[in-house]
């Protein structure tokens, strides 16, 4: 069967169903515009995958003296996840909201060139390092929505690697970046004696878990934090500051250290995956979203101590922060224009392009959502209710 030869997804689906002897009725039931999806998002289309979408919230973000409550669209097939994030949202909102911050590092793309040896490699590197502006003009010609922010070079023997950083406004921008890089790649070949080997040489480094992205950042760097009072810890999270802290230290710090992990966190990837899926992000970028660090601190509140009948510990509040060095997201382009994805972005009020502001705001919400996920899981690991939650919410799943 030649799967490229069909005129429509319907024809292809039916032929494939016949070929493998399976009804594909559900895959064939959907509302999105097949013509657009099949030309922009997916070749050889046969229909759609349907993923349950839930919502968590309200999640309060308090930034620059403004407060806003968000409802998080989360697409997942993993029972208990939405409920867990929802509990974290509740705890954050009850604590007055999360503080968030975002730095736009830029999407990266990086070619590799070959030379005749070290001296020529270093000459090419020098030329590239000293012609950033000129290269930026070459890049800018490829798109009105892209700018070259900076670049980094690295030489290993006959190989010269470049890491370009681009501002792509509200788009995640990987494709724009590739097109702009290809243009500069040809230009560098003309201007230096280096010969292009590959437009993408893993110094980018795209969709691989890598220390370079942790250290140098990629896409957006995101921070979020909240201080949870003892009351919220007790009532909503059924725990104490000290207990969550102990789980965090043993798990996210020392446990990650003995495992050679690039993620010093509890479950960044779960939250990232659910938001990315609902909002049309590139799911392979979940890999990069799993990088980062959660920190905790127990704060004593001495003024309360004296009047307490419960002993000091239960009066302590808990500071929790998350740091995401590499969040690759967009609110235009890619899957963001598809029907359900656009609606999900609209729930957050960030659908479409807005001079980079929508992507910025979207990253802020992601930061707060990841924070909610960490708080809830760290609390449940301590209270031993993780398995119970799964048993209750996902019963029958593994049968």
Q: Which residues are catalytic?
A: 78, 282, 390
10 Å CB burial of residue 267 (0-12, 13-18, 19+) is: buried
Alpha-carbon span 295 to 224, nearest angstrom: 10
Residue 190 in the binding site for a second copy (CB under 8 A):
no
How far apart are CB 234 and a second copy at their closest, in Å? 19
Alpha-carbon span 259 to 257, nearest angstrom: 5
The residues in 242-261 that bind a second copy, with binding defined as CB under 8 A, are 246-247, 250-261
Q: What are the angstrom distances between the C-alpha of 235 and each of 56, 172, 257, 325, 377?
A: 19, 39, 32, 32, 16
Alpha-carbon span 320 to 92, nearest angstrom: 10
How far apart are CB 240 and a second copy at their closest, in Å? 14
Among 88, 97, 106, 173, binds a second copy (CB under 8 A): 173
Report the residue number, 304 or 339, with the smaller CB distance to a second copy. Answer: 339
The residues in 6-35 that bind a second copy, with binding defined as CB under 8 A, are 12, 16, 19-20, 22-27, 29-32
Report the residue number, 162 or 232, with the smaller CB distance to a second copy. Answer: 162
Using alpha carbons, select from 215, 214, 108, 209 the residue that is nearest to residue 161: 108
Per CB under 8 A, the segment of 132-140, 229-237, 267-275, 358-366 that binds a second copy is 267-275
The residues in 113-152 that bind a second copy, with binding defined as CB under 8 A, are 114, 117-119, 121-122, 143, 145
Report the residue number, 55 or 134, with the smaller CB distance to a second copy. Answer: 55
How far apart are CB 134 and a second copy at their closest, in Å? 20
Per CB under 8 A, the segment of 133-141, 231-239, 278-286, 357-365 that binds a second copy is 278-286
DSSP 8-class letter at 254: I
Alpha-carbon span 130 to 327, nearest angstrom: 29
Alpha-carbon span 121 to 63, nearest angstrom: 47
How far apart are CB 391 and a second copy at their closest, in Å? 6
Per CB under 8 A, the segment of 73-81, 128-136, 234-242, 356-364 that binds a second copy is 73-81
How far apart are CB 108 and a second copy at their closest, in Å? 11
Binding mask 75-104 for a second copy (x = CB under 8 A): xxxxxxxxx--x------------xxx---
How far apart are CB 167 and a second copy at their closest, in Å? 13
Report the residue number, 309 or 399, with the smaller CB distance to a second copy. Answer: 399
Among 91, 92, 139, 176, binds a second copy (CB under 8 A): 176
226 and 107 Cβ atoms separated by less than 8 Å = no
Using alpha carbons, select from 143, 156, 154 the residue that is nearest to residue 110: 154
Alpha-carbon span 22 to 57, nearest angstrom: 39
- CA–chain centroid gap for 111, Å, is 24
Residue 310 in the binding site for a second copy (CB under 8 A):
no
Alpha-carbon span 131 to 136, nearest angstrom: 8
Strands 112-114, 195-198: parallel, antiparallel or unpaired by DSSP? antiparallel
Among 232, 237, 278, 350, binds a second copy (CB under 8 A): 278
Per CB under 8 A, the segment of 128-136, 231-239, 355-363, 387-395 that binds a second copy is 387-395
Give the binding-site size for a second copy (rule: CB under 8 A). Answer: 175
126 strand-pairing partners: none
Alpha-carbon span 292 to 271, nearest angstrom: 13
Alpha-carbon span 367 to 287, nearest angstrom: 16
Report the residue number, 131 or 145, with the smaller CB distance to a second copy. Answer: 145
């Amino acid at each position: 069967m030649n799967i490229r030869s069909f005129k429509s997804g319907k024809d292809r689906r039916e032929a494939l169903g016949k070929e493998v002897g399976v009804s594909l009725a559900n895959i064939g039931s959907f509302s999105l515009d097949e013509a657009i999806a099949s030309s922009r998002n997916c070749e050889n289309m046969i229909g759609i995958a349907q993923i349950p979408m839930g919502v968590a919230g309200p999640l309060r973000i308090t930034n620059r003296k403004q407060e806003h409550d968000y409802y998080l669209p989360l697409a997942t097939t993993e029972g208990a996840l939405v409920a867990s994030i929802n509990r974290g949202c509740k705890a954050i909102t009850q604590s007055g909201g999360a503080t968030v911050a975002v730095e736009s590092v830029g999407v990266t793309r990086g070619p590799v060139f070959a030379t005749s040896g070290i001296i020529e490699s270093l000459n090419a590197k020098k030329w590239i390092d000293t012609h950033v502006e000129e290269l930026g003009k070459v890049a800018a010609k490829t798109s009105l929505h892209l700018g070259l922010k900076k670049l980094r070079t690295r030489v290993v023997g006959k190989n010269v690697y470049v890491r370009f950083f681009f501002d792509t406004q509200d788009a995640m921008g990987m494709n724009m970046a590739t097109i702009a890089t290809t243009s500069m790649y040809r230009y560098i070949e003309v201007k230096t004696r280096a010969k292009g080997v590959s437009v993408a040489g893993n110094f980018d480094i795209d969709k691989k878990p890598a220390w370079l992205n942790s250290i140098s950042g990629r896409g957006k760097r995101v921070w979020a934090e909240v201080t949870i009072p003892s009351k919220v810890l007790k009532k909503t999270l059924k725990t104490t500051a000290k207990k969550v802290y102990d789980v965090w230290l043993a798990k996210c710090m020392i446990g990650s250290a003995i495992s050679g992990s690039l993620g010093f966190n509890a479950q960044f990837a779960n939250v990232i995956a659910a938001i990315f899926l609902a909002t049309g992000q590139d799911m392979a970028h979940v890999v990069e979203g799993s990088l980062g660090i959660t920190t905790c601190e127990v704060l004593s509140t001495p003024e309360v101590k004296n009047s307490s009948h419960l002993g000091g510990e239960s009066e302590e509040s808990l500071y929790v922060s998350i740091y995401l060095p590499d969040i690759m997201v967009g609110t235009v382009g890619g899957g963001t224009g598809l029907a359900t994805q656009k609606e999900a972005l609209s729930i957050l009020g960030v659908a479409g392009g807005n001079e980079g502001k929508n992507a910025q705001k979207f990253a802020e919400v992601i930061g707060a959502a990841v924070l909610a996920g960490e708080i809830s899981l760290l609390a449940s690991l301590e209270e031993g209710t993780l398995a119970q939650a799964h048993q209750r919410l996902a019963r029958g799943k593994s049968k």
